[in-house]
Amino acid sequence: MNKREFIKLTSLAGVAALSGPLSSLAAVAPSAGKPAGNDPKAPFTVPALTYAYDALEPYIDKLTMEIHHDKHHGAYVKNLNEAVNGTPFATLTLEEILAKVTDKDKAIRNNGGGHYNHSLFWTLLSPKKTNPSDKLKSAINKHFGSFEQFQAKFSDAAKTQFGSGWAWLIVTPDKKLAVINTPNQDNPLMRNIVKDLGTPILALDVWEHAYYLKYQNKRPDYISAFWNVVNWEEVDKRYNNALK
């Protein structure tokens, strides 16, 4: 598939789920998982980015960010709102949904995971250079041997995830750091689905729509580029919260 064909297919998929210009969701969306007005049929919204679409270039390009955030994430939110409407899940927070969802709840599992995973992912990217705190680096060294060994392990988890999925750095229930990967939109909060539970503090989307426009089938190049835009300040915050 060439770039032109990929853009066409991605755009058609997004149009089928959404209407309006690319920026319409980002312009009005409050925080993920919070009620949007008083409409019980649409409890979830796409969180606005805190940086411009082109802010992560040259590592992640503007067009990918526009399509990924507005169309792909937007479709997950639209489908999730439709899936939970009229069910016991409709009154739950996103985190509560993930804790309760099972493999029988296919639409809620896929779209709830897609909403949570992407909402987290946007916060973990930053156009400015950041570094992990001494506290986090010490924990990484303790659990992985060195920061370089951690990077290699995380990158390998992203590279070896067959097909679509995610790589994660999590804080396990016993407060240890671990690197895992999950297929599709599953995540380590889904206690009835995944085997490795934990609080995610770093995540990398390795679905093709996250990188194909710029990197085509070269997933390792995309993974290498990711390390240039990690928001370590956010990772640190989530690490400290997970330890509480």
118 annotated to bind ligand: yes
Instruction: Give, in degrees to the nearest 5, the angle at Cα 127 between 122 and 132.
Output: 80
209 annotated to bind ligand: yes
CATH of span 3-48+60-123? 1.10.287.990
205 annotated to bind ligand: yes
The matching CATH number, chosen from 1.20.1440.230, 3.40.190.10, 1.20.120.160, 3.55.40.20, for 134-243 is 3.55.40.20
How many Å apart are CA 158 and CA 197, to the nearest integer?
A: 18
143 annotated to bind ligand: no
pLDDT in tens, 124-153: 999 999 999 999 999 999 999 999 999 999
Non-local (6+) Cβ contacts of 129 within 8 A are none
Beta pairing partners, 200 = 170
Name the pTM for this structure: 0.84
How many Å apart are CA 60 and CA 58, to the nearest integer?
A: 6
DSSP 67: I
pLDDT in tens, 184-242: 999 999 999 999 999 999 999 999 999 999 999 999 999 999 999 999 999 999 999 99
DSSP 151: H
Domain boundaries of the chain, sorted by first residue: 3-48+60-123, 134-243
